Amino acid sequence: MASTSSAEEAEARSILERAATSSFPPLHAVHHLLSVGVCVRCILRLFGAYSSACSCSSLTALVLHSFLEEHDDSIKKESCQCLSTDDSYCSVCLGVLLPAYHQDNETEMTDGLSHIDKISSMISQAVKREGYQVDEFSLEISLPPVLAANERAARLYMKQKYGNENWFKDKTLPQQTMSVKEALRLLIVPSLEKQMNAKHGNNSFRIRLTYTHSDALQKLQSLLPNDNGRKRKTESRNGRDTSGETHKTNSICDSDKNTISESDSFIYKTLEGIRDEELCNLFQWPPEKVSKSCHLEISCVRSPIYIGGRYLKLSRNVSQSCWIIDDERMGEASVEEIIGEGVRAICRGDSYKFHAAGREDIDVRMLGSGRPFLVEVLNVRSIPSAIEVQQIAEKINNSEKKYVRVRNLKLVGSEIWTMMREGEAEKQKQYAALIWTSRELTETDLQSISLTKDMEIIQKTPIRVLHRRSPLERKRTIHWMEIEKVADSSNYYLLLLCTQAGTYIKEFVHGDLGRTHPSIGSMLGCRAEILQLDVTDVKMDFLQ
């Protein structure tokens, strides 16, 4: 332990030496920032000297102070007010980058973990507790808006205090320094990768860190003017001095549209609209000591995954979607629940949504190649492997009640969902219907039916669905038909047909009191009834 910390201390000193030669202003100014409660990491940040090396846990106020003492005689060793060991937090980042700002080193001594390691261990535990399987993650950070105000006030304070000194140029207080958010990301990612044994990247598994500070927020809200008709800051801006700020504020908003709450973004907007002089009046510097740390909330979520395939429905008493009327279930089960719940359980998602390319009535079987569907599973704990997807399929296909079977089940991208929605209009469907006619059909009847090619029909909304669909007239195409007599029976026929999606087949057979024209009945000049209907194929180019 002792050797590690002395090695770390040497590293901390070399970071400071590099900063002193490259970007630090005169050291009395550095010392002044330290004395008004700015943490070492924020000091390095504000002077453009922040790098991934700054995660070094020996980089403390104490080390910086002794470095300053050695290099500037005007800085006193003893009784310097910035060395008081009270529990205050950085007046810019409120302790987000360094905890109680003198004490990162001390924490390390007690249990061998730095503050940052502690946070990543907390995150890693939260991820494990939720049961997530993770090999890549992305990190979303949301910080209290007061940090933006603090930083701007600190810069303006420096400008007021040192603006007349020769060394003070924009170069020494760069506008494009690293933000607290970027700095925190740089601190936490390596530690988190190690703790979670996972890589940081642009992944669908997102860890969100939400830092809040209720006292600071309350104070900020009481300071901010609340009328909306304020002059924009840009109107009274003096060019290059502040243009960097504008750019910065905008970029915060752009990159974090999803992570900033509405109330926070209102505060950011209001801050943007405040002129520099006004801001200096509102935020007195040096500020009061900050004695409470930020509250950190950790949450994780995974973007939805999609598992698609085709289903067969072998029962005439199972609906496609869960169908409950007045607390009473229609049919014995639903395709939606049988498949959706099977998929959800294996990937341990919070919930699922079932999307199918079209639907069939409860009493219609879905046979042949099956109907394309997608299950969208929300916030899964693990993404199923190809083998696990096969296991889901086997489980559904081998279930005791053979209501539903699945084919070609696989993990697919969300683009299939878009394709499925858009492709719905183009697809064709094939059916097999058992029909009855009021007279026995002749060979000529059968031939004339079978000669049908791309026949256009007009369908008014069927009577049986009028209560839930608006009354419309639609053109549909019957692509082809074949009809054959059922052996050893009179008046019973098997009708095979291929139609444009969205055709009401039952109505096309019996004519729906003339609302569908032509119909099998009108073509044959007799009564025609449909006894049973099966979908035998759904033509689509994907999920084959």
By CB under 5 A, name the binding residues for Zn ion: 39, 42, 90, 92-93, 97
Cα–Cα dist 379/347, whole Å: 9
DSSP 83-138: G-----B-TTTTTSSSSSTT-HHHHHHHHS--HHHHHHHHHHHHHHHTT---SEEE
To the nearest whole angstrom, how small is the minimum distance from the Cβ of residue 93 to Zn ion? 3
* Residue among 59 and 501 whose Cβ is closer to Zn ion: 59
Within 8 A by CB and 6+ apart from 403, the residues are 313, 314, 315, 318, 332, 333, 335, 338
Tell me the closest approach of the beta carbon of residue 213 to Zn ion, in angstroms. Answer: 13
Residue 149, CB-side half-sphere exposure with 13 Å CA sphere = 28
Beta carbons of 40 and 98 less than 8 angstroms apart: yes
- The active-site residue out of 72, 87, 361, 363 is 361
Tell me which residue of 472, 448, 470 sits closest to 459, measured CA to CA: 472
Q: Looking at the DSSP assignment, which residues form a beta bridge with residue 373?
A: 309, 356
DSSP 8-state secondary structure symbol assigned to residue 68: H
The residue (of 290 and 307) whose beta carbon lies closer to Zn ion is 290
DSSP letter (8 states) at residue 360 = -
Residue with tokens 């598992």: 307
| CB 143 to Zn ion: min, Å | 11
Closer by beta carbon to Zn ion, 187 or else 457: 187
Q: How far is the CB of 78 from Zn ion (least distance, A)?
A: 25
Nearest by Cα to 300 from 203, 168, 412, 401: 203
Question: Considering the complex, what minimum distance in angstroms separates the CB of residue 45 from Zn ion?
Answer: 8
For residues 42 and 364, which CB has a smaller minimum distance to Zn ion in the complex?
42
Print burial letters for 100-121: b (CB count within 10 Å at least 16), e (below 16): bbbbbbebbeeeeebbbbebbe
- Helix boundaries (H) for 130-178: 146-162
What's the min distance (Å) between Cβ of 214 and Zn ion? 19
The answer to whether the beta carbons of residues 474 and 450 sit under 8 Å apart is no
Query: Is 361 a residue of the active site?
Result: yes
Between 153 and 346, whose beta carbon lies closer to Zn ion? Answer: 153
Which is closer to Zn ion, CB of 30 or CB of 90? 90
Q: Give the residue numbers annotated as catalytic, written as ranges.
A: 361
